[in-house]
Amino acid sequence: MSWTDERIEKLRKMWEGGATASQIAEELGGVSRNAVIGKAHRLGLKARPSPVKPNEKTARPAPAPRKSKADDPVETESPQEAAPPPPAAAAPAPERRTPPPPPPAAAAAAEPATEKPATPQPRIVSVGPGGFLRQGPGDQQQPIPPAPPRRLVPAKPSPEIADKTSLLDLNDRICRWPMGHPGEPDFHFCGEKVNPGFPYCVEHCGRAYQAQLPRGARRPPPPMPFGGPRVR
């Protein structure tokens, strides 16, 4: 494959959007991850949190021979090697691509719902069909968005929850899917037998682990569609 303008542009957008080289390569097709990285560097775009040590002393004390197809010529030792390294504080934003499946709600949520309005720094993206980046599942859905109209009641073992699964009844064999809102008197857990290997029963696994969004799913404003789905 050759680097057409479209492919370059896609590479640019995805790279700047935070997609990994592997994702980009997979999306573009016909190129390897290395090809993407190499091209990205050649394009001049780089400067992304790299796992490699930002050690300013990037001298090559032991440059291992990578290809001995031809004998290395005489390596001329230049006596100019004095680069004053100004200490530069790097602030690499951590970035993870595929976040784990969303647990529906905090199990024993006695948390005062602290307002956490913005975490715009680490952009969590994943590449959807067509190469657009979509937000992580965290902002796609909010399993329990409506404000819990909590009215706290004195701890009274009402018969309503007598046979409900309480927090203390949880073990790794029963479904931990929360029913209702924490703090409410009838809050309990599903209690069904779990789908083996999962923390939830079969039914709630279906809700916890949502499949890929259908292409037609109405989601008009994904902030960075990268040109949108491919038109084939």
Partner DNA sequence: CCCTGATTCGC
Partner DNA sequence: GCGAATCAGG
Residues lying near DNA in the complex (CB under 7 A): 1-3, 20-23, 31-35, 37-42, 46-53, 55, 58, 60, 62-64, 66-67, 69-70, 72, 97
Q: Do residues 166 and 191 make contact, with C-beta atoms less than 8 angstroms apart? A: no
In this structure, the chain runs to a length of: 232
**94: its two tokens:** 């951590």
Q: Give residue for tokens 């069904």.
A: 192
Nearer to DNA, 54 or 228 (CB): 54
Cα separation, 32 vs 116, in Å, equals 39
Nearer to DNA, 134 or 204 (CB): 134
- Minimal distance in Å, beta carbon 13 to DNA? 14
**216: its two tokens:** 């037609």
Nearer to DNA, 67 or 116 (CB): 67
Nearer to DNA, 28 or 201 (CB): 28
- Minimal distance in Å, beta carbon 150 to DNA? 39
- Minimal distance in Å, beta carbon 196 to DNA? 25
- Minimal distance in Å, beta carbon 148 to DNA? 36
List of residues 6+ apart from 131 with CB closer than 8 A: 10, 14, 27, 226, 227, 229, 230
Nearer to DNA, 73 or 196 (CB): 73
List of residues 6+ apart from 155 with CB closer than 8 A: none
- Minimal distance in Å, beta carbon 20 to DNA? 3
Cα separation, 31 vs 51, in Å, equals 22
**87: its two tokens:** 């200490």
Cα separation, 37 vs 47, in Å, equals 12
